[in-house]
Structure 1
Amino acid sequence: MLGNLIDWFRRQTQIGLEGLPDNEVSGRYAYNVTCLLGAVFTVPFVIGYALAGAPLLAVTVSPLMLNFLLPRLIPLVGQSLALLIGGSVLISVFVVATFLTGASSGLYLFMFNGIVAVALLQSVTRPKESAVLVLVVIVAMAASRLLFPEPSGLLDVGEGFNRTVYVVTLIVLTSQIAAILFSLTAQVAQAEAALAAEHARSEALLQNLLPDEIATRLKDRPGEVIADGLPAVTLLFAHIVDFTPRSARMSPETLVGWLNRIFSAFDVLTAERGLEKIKTIGDAYMVAAGLPVARKDHAEIIADMALAMQAEVKRLSQELGEPIDLRIGIHSGPAIAGVIGTSKVFYDVWGDTVNTASRMESHGEPGRIQVTAATRALLADRYEFAPRGPVEIKGIGRIETFWLTGKR
């Protein structure tokens, strides 16, 4: 029984919320709560005046019915008109009630709920209309208090009854306002929690798209052009050999899952070494060291990455039941890095170093790591190499290259 009653109350507070703009939901919710509590708290007054034998029953029933109907009236006639109709009736009711009972009953104080309701519902969307309605309510309250200090004589319930009504009125109003504030605070807390969760998802997505330092710069200085000249970086390109014929015999789901498994393993290796994954291009994987923050061991850490990638694809070949070979190319030198685009922003690297590293991969051999003399010089005697000799690279010319075979 209690559960059904709570569910009914909850449904009443949700009236008219569906389809509302986000900035109006909290106000409408709190307004629904205000009207619902106004209807509920009117019941004791209806009972009290009925037991006292007063012919004020019709006057007290009116706020009960109107508070119950107002949330349903808004979708039919519009928010402003519903408030105008409801406000006019409620003001009239409480002015008449004060006229009959005198100001000592405190019934005019219930018009304060009109201020609360208007402030909650319209203060954001219609501030001027809200100010006018609030002013009308204040004037009506002041007029009721000043014009009808004594009962009219048409209703005789006694001063003792009036004092009881006044005390109950204060208790009811305080309880109602507390309940409204509590419900509104809970609604705001839910909205803030949802906003915080959305912000966290956005932050996580931004961190996945961009290096941490670049993401921070974009947030701190959103209008700044992100472009950095980098004197010393090392770039690695890795390409899955025979990917095209393999893709022709795999279903789309199988192919994407297979490729995702490989690149996800590379992502783990990248994260473990603090490297920066630049992008994947089809079946190619590009990773860099020395950007956006410079590091002295950029060549060495990329060499470790290349060797780890070779070991990883051997393991994955057994796990996936498919032989996997990589061509890997590495080159070191200066480059330019920055962010391009306004939607789907992208952190990229440009320059001859990028082109040369890419050619090291495309002119390499399956299962081998080809590096330039520049990278070989940075690695000194810490790694083992096999000379390949001069290689003719289109657009670059003949350059001396080496096969990286292991670490000493």
Structure 2
Amino acid sequence: MKALIDNLAVARKKSKNLLGQMLPSEVADRIMAGEITKPVSFECATVFFSNIVGFSDIAAEANSIDIVNLLNDLYKYFDTIIDNHDVYKVETVGSQYMVVSGIPKRNGENHVSEIADMALTLMSGIYSTFKVRNLDIKVELRIGIHSGPTVAGVVGTKAPRYCLFGDTVNTAARMESSGSAMRIQVSEPTYELLRKTGQYNFEIRGKIPVKGKGHMTTYWLTGKTGFISPLPKLEDFPLAN
């Protein structure tokens, strides 16, 4: 009987660890306890999207193993950086990487600074440190950030996922897709929140057409007071046509 109990305990611990890798720990704990998880609304959070510029062309010219190695190396590198910030990695889809702050743990207005600091660190690392194995290429990122209300909840049972829903997510994705290589594009709500801190540097991009949103005023996040790691200069990376 003791052996059976021990085996059950081990199996339960493995299940909890696996679930904890797929979901936020507090959400995983509630599921393991048999509680029903309901969608939760968050008044304001900051959502980050990044993508590899020209990834389709890179994938077409390289072999599949090198592409898998590229993404694995890149995401492992990203993961080591986000561990130093109060953020949650929502998912990776192909070359796209999605992170949020302020969800599932509320952190006041710190969410916008956590994402901005993370974005600057990631951009600096890609610009000055990250190397690609076996491929004679230099990875360039396109980053987009937006802040606003969001709903989060668990979707699915066999392979549950913690997903974000709402216009904030869509707009953050548009900030990425309408951006440009080695630039961090932020929406006006994100800009206003960061501007209040008095710590960040920007260049205004102006009004641009954003799919599904009409025209929006956006900004390039270019640095932060006291941030000494090297960052790409905008003039070295002209806007995409």
Determine whether 1:312 maps to 2:109: no
Other structure's SS at 1:208 match: helix
Give the letter for the 1:393 counterpart: V
Q: Kindly indicate which of the two structures has a greater share of residues assigned to helix.
A: 1
Alignment check: 8 A CA contact 1:337 1:350 kept: yes
Query: 1:221: how far off?
Result: 3.8
Query: 1:250: how far off?
Result: 2.1
**Looking at both structures, which has the greater relative contact order when contacts are Cα pairs under 8 Å and sequence separation is at least 6?**
2
Q: Structure 1 CA distance, aligned partners of 2:20 and 2:180? A: 34
Query: What is the match of residue 167 of structure 2?
Result: 352
Q: Deviations over 1:234-281 (max 9, x none)?
A: 000000111111112222222111101101111122222131101111
Give the letter for the 2:154 counterpart: V
Q: Structure 1 CA distance, aligned partners of 2:65 and 2:10? A: 31
Structure number with bigger Rg: 1
Query: 1:193: how far off?
Result: 4.3
Q: Structure 2 CA distance, aligned partners of 1:318 and 1:278? A: 24
1:216 to 4, 20, 29: 29
CA RMSD of aligned residues (A): 1.7
Query: What is the match of residue 207 of structure 2?
Result: 390
Alignment check: 8 A CA contact 1:278 1:287 kept: yes
Query: What is the match of residue 219 of structure 2?
Result: 402
Give the letter for the 2:113 counterpart: E
TM-score, normalised via structure 1 length: 0.52
Alignment check: 8 A CA contact 1:241 1:324 kept: yes
Q: Kindly indicate which of the two structures has a greater share of residues assigned to strand.
A: 2
Determine whether 1:243 maps to 2:55: yes
Query: 1:319: how far off?
Result: 6.7
Other structure's SS at 1:316 match: coil
Q: Percent identity?
A: 38
Q: Structure 1 CA distance, aligned partners of 2:8 and 2:48? A: 39
Give the letter for the 2:163 counterpart: D
Other structure's SS at 1:274 match: coil
Give the letter for the 2:211 counterpart: K
Query: What is the match of residue 13 of structure 2?
Result: 200
Other structure's SS at 1:317 match: coil
For structure 1, the residue ranges without an aligned partner over 5 or more in a row are: 1-184
Query: 1:318: how far off?
Result: 6.6
Alignment check: 8 A CA contact 1:232 1:294 kept: no
Query: What is the match of residue 155 of structure 2?
Result: 340
Q: Deviations over 1:87-117 (max 9, x none)?
A: xxxxxxxxxxxxxxxxxxxxxxxxxxxxxxx
For structure 2, the residue ranges without an aligned partner over 5 or more in a row are: 226-241
Q: How many residues align?
A: 220
Counterparts of 1:255-404 in structure 2, within 5 Å, are: 255-296=67-108, 297-314=110-127, 315-317=129-131, 322-380=137-195, 381-404=198-221
Q: Structure 2 CA distance, aligned partners of 1:261 and 1:194? A: 35
